[in-house]
Structure 1
Amino acid sequence: MQMTSLNEHQLEAVNIIDGAVAVIAGAGSGKTRTLTYRIANMIEHHVDPRSILAVTFTNKAAKEMKERVVDLVGPQGLAPVISTFHSFCARFLRDEIDYLGEPYTRHYLIMDEDDAKQVIRDTVKDLNLDPNRYSSNRLKDYFSKVKNGQYDQLDFEDETVFVKYNEYLKQNNAVDFDDLLIFTLQLLNNNEALLNYYQEQYKYILID
């Protein structure tokens, strides 16, 4: 595999097969390319490609990384799991969400942003609240921050909508994008056997 397009520091990161590596650089400096070459180099050094997990933020980046790895090492490049955070968590929950208990099942629905905002609008209407004050855009952003621990407390009306919104999701075996991340983290934190299984499965984890 030719790596002449990499600079000295990128090459140093790519050639580290085992152990933690942090690449700190500005936007557009080649971090994703470095990560892609590192995956390819691992495979060339006989790392089982099925033990490699790479996660990134956008579908576009994940697609480009997959294509680059295949270009570099051929069909073996199809074996690593390369996906967005949300896609990986959705895949994880399809297999493991039963551990959360009822009402969730592996046939759960994923609510996109538009669906979630519509549920919020319907909830605001059912509670006879002012839709201008309790806009779905504001509340969805606010609820996302609450779920991710950025806010500890809501005012009474916001909390009422929040509770009703989450009740709707549970009753319909549905999750929103935040739940994908939070439920995955919750299961891995609270189930040691599950955590051990995935640690054994993915010995090499790369984050773009």
Structure 2
Amino acid sequence: MDLGKKIRRYRDGLGLTQAELAAKLGLTYSSVSQWESGRAIPRTPVIKQLADLFGTTVADLMGEDGATAALRGTSRMVPLLGFAHMGEPCDEGTLADEVEVPASIADAHPRGFMVHAQGGCMDNRFPHDALLLVDPDMEPANGQPVLAETEDFGAVVRNYTRGLSTVMLTADSHSGEYDDIVAGPDDPPVTCRGRVVWYMGERDERP
């Protein structure tokens, strides 16, 4: 059984909702939802908290191989460079200097950096309050999310599409209420800072 299914099984066994489990950990319910769906994994300290809360061990939650890796600290620190928005203005507060991510992710993107992105225009892909890993060495690809900078909108996360003479940054939201950002030959340029390759819920990151 994978980690997400085990978290759900133990949570159900305690009679907790996702929001109630998240509150016990000092996180948001979206973090628990992402773990249980297999779209994200908890950080190593959080896995240890979960094991304590569930009355089990890290080895039981992750399996022997996963537990060994977790206890060895197979993670890396990646710089957290700033804020970006996903449809709404950012509530810019204090950021940590670095974020802990799985070593396999960091090693695959050696010059990668994190941004704290807020808003709902990409909520089919990312939680509205997320930490996104951006690889500046990966060229933008049509239909893939990027971190872009525009004169009018600042740092923004959207799906990228390039035509013959235009660049379009499109939203990917449940509501469909967000307008596309289109830059043609006579418009200020769109600068792509890199492709978004991984994410985690913001509350998983603790300064």
- Give the structure with the larger helix fraction: 1
Q: TM-score, normalised by structure 1?
A: 0.30
- Give the structure with the larger strand fraction: 2
Larger Rg: 1
